[in-house]
Chain A
Amino acid sequence: SAVISQKPSRDICQRGTSLTIQCQVDSQVTMMFWYRQQPGQSLTLIATANQGSEATYESGFVIDKFPISRPNLTFSTLTVSNMSPEDSSIYLCSVTGTGAKNIQYFGAGTRLSVL
């Protein structure tokens, strides 16, 4: 499986500011995904990060709030913009390899608290 580095691991931010989360993989991967997981809840897919094109967002998530970049096959960023306390959550990056038959591997996550 790929080695996935996600940073920061945690942050405390003020309302109205933005935070960019980075996801770096040690090998080229086919798909990269961004999830949100609120305390005690399951995973909610925010978007699929597409290499060289705009991300594909799930219902309820918009580019203005969660802009995503994926400049190459090993790196992606998720920005949480104009944060409010409701954005406090764990944000997870996951990847799927070329022959992985849909298996997703996760980064360690970013624990975000918004005051």
Chain B
Amino acid sequence: QKEVEQNSGPLSVPEGAIASLNCTYSDRGSQSFFWYRQYSGKSPELIMSIYSNGDKEDGRFTAQLNKASQYVSLLIRDSQPSDSATYLCAVAPNAGNNRKLIWGLGTSLAVNP
């Protein structure tokens, strides 16, 4: 059973702080890793994708991938109240063509003004 695990939270941080979200996965052969943000009542939207070990930065967001330890994290710098949402980690378990993603249960983030 291929799994993706996240702490459900809620994770509460003050405005301006760094929010750190973590995700572990069970399939060592996983190739692609994604962070999606989902506001209440809305559909998920892609924030970051990462495919190789190391860090990938996009604005206030940094994704970190460590394949040896099988975890991927998302850092949000200078957190804003508008970042309050559920963050979903998704993993593509192989390089095959079915393109399915395995989803974590999501971490709820609350940024307090």
Residues of A within 8 A of B (CB): 1, 30-31, 33, 41-43, 45, 48, 56, 92, 96, 101-109
Beta-carbon contact of B43 and A92 below 8 Å: yes
Beta-carbon contact of B99 and A30 below 8 Å: yes
A42-B104 contact given A101-B32, A107-B43, A108-B43, CB 8 Å threshold: yes
Contacts of B44 in A (CB 8 A): 43, 92, 106
Contacts of B101 in A (CB 8 A): 102, 104
Contacts of A101 in B (CB 8 A): 32, 49, 51
Contacts of A43 in B (CB 8 A): 44, 88, 103
Taking the complex as formed, is B28 at the interface, i.e. its CB lies under 8 A from any CB of chain A?
Answer: no
Q: How far is the CB of A76 from chain B (nearest CB, A)?
A: 15
Beta-carbon contact of A45 and B100 below 8 Å: yes
CA distance A1 to B103 in the complex (A): 20
Taking the complex as formed, is B11 at the interface, i.e. its CB lies under 8 A from any CB of chain A?
Answer: no
Name B70-97 residues within 8 Å CB distance of A. 88, 90, 92
Listed A/B pairs (7) with beta-carbon separation below 8 Å: A41-B105, A92-B44, A102-B34, A102-B92, A104-B34, A104-B46, A109-B42
